[in-house]
Amino acid sequence: MNIAFLSAILPVLILLWFIYRKDKNQPEPIGKLILTFFVGCLSVVPAGLMEAVLTPLAPSAETSPVLNGLFNGYCVAGLCEELCKLLLLLWVIWKSRHFDEYFDGIVYAAYLSLGFACVENISYVMQGGDPMGTAFMRGLLAVPAHFLFAVTMGYYVSLAKFDPAGRQKHLFFALLYPVLLHGTYDALLMVSSNLGGSDSMVSTGITGVLFIVFIIFDVRMWKWGLKRIKRLQQRSREQDFDRQHPFDGFTWNF
């Protein structure tokens, strides 16, 4: 098997294993996880069609490099990809009997999003040029980013599932926050790339600042993501305890 292909899928496999190992309370069925992953792989098709419609509407990168990066980051990549992921995630798991605890939302969202990231990563790596360099950079940044967008989406999908009173609000956030995170991630890279083509000192300085902001943003995403994982792990443990010990308001009196 091609080493570039293996390099493209390796970070995906690592993160799939990572989130599966985090699901210690009631691990999800392997078959359901595989199905969710392949639905994520197929989600690149509707997302790509939506992006093909919106991309020509972007301002010119030559005359409006900042607006071009913002439009492509938030509207093309962020909105199209995260909307498709969310709709397919809800279709796959919302009524599933296996979606029975808080942490499940993050697990299934991660598997679906990593399916998307896997296909996207393979397509970039196999395009030629410097496949190993591309695989390294995308494995370090792009694939984990898709994973973290999914953690945020799954977090709010779970809240929507188990909090009927706030369902609409949580589902709105399940789309809004991943779009904002994804859009910011891509916009920082795209604006930096657009400005990087200029030889002016100002553009070079702005590009450097944007790169620093991007690194800070990436680190913060990891902190937010891990915090949400721990929070829903705790909720799942409490949820399971309540199922096993239904005190129904009983209190000890001494």
pLDDT tens track for 78-106: 999 999 999 999 999 999 999 999 999 99
Q: Is 11 in contact with 144 (CB distance < 8 Å)?
A: yes
Q: Are 92 and 35 in contact (CB under 8 A)?
A: yes
Length of the chain as a residue count: 254
Average pLDDT, the chain: 90
Residue 21 domain-assigned (yes or no): no
**What residue type is assigned to position 165 of the chain?**
A
Q: How many domains does the chain have?
A: 1
Q: Give which of 91, 140, 90, 87 is closest to 117, Cα–Cα.
A: 140
Q: Is residue 161 part of a domain?
A: yes
Over the range 38-55, which residues count as b (16 or more CB within 10 Å of their CB) and which as e? ebbbebbebbeebbeeee
Instruction: Tell me whether residue 213 is in a domain.
Output: yes
Q: Fill in the amino acid letter for 169.
A: K
Q: Is residue 75 part of a domain?
A: yes
Question: What mean pLDDT is predicted for residues 227-245?
Answer: 82
In sequence order, which ranges of 163-200 are alpha helices (DSSP H)?
167-196
| Alpha carbon 214 to its chain's center | 16
Query: Residue 43: what are its φ and ψ, rounded to 5°?
Result: -65, -15
Residues whose CB falls within 8 Å of the CB of residue 254, separated by 6 or more in sequence, listed in order: none
pLDDT in tens, 153-211: 999 999 999 999 999 999 999 999 999 999 999 999 999 888 876 555 656 677 778 88
pLDDT for 64 equals 93
The residue written with tokens 């994520």 in the block is: 40
Residue 208 forms part of a structural domain: yes
Contact 144, 225 (CB under 8 A): no
In a domain, 252, yes or no: no
Residue 181 lies in a domain: yes
Q: Which two tokens stand for residue 228?
A: 């949400």
For residues 134 and 127, give the distance between their C-alpha atoms in angstroms, rounded to a whole number. 10
Question: Which domain range does residue 228 map to?
Answer: 29-130+141-243
pTM as predicted: 0.90
Q: Is 72 among the domain residues? A: yes
**φ, ψ (nearest 5 deg) of residue 163:** -130, 80
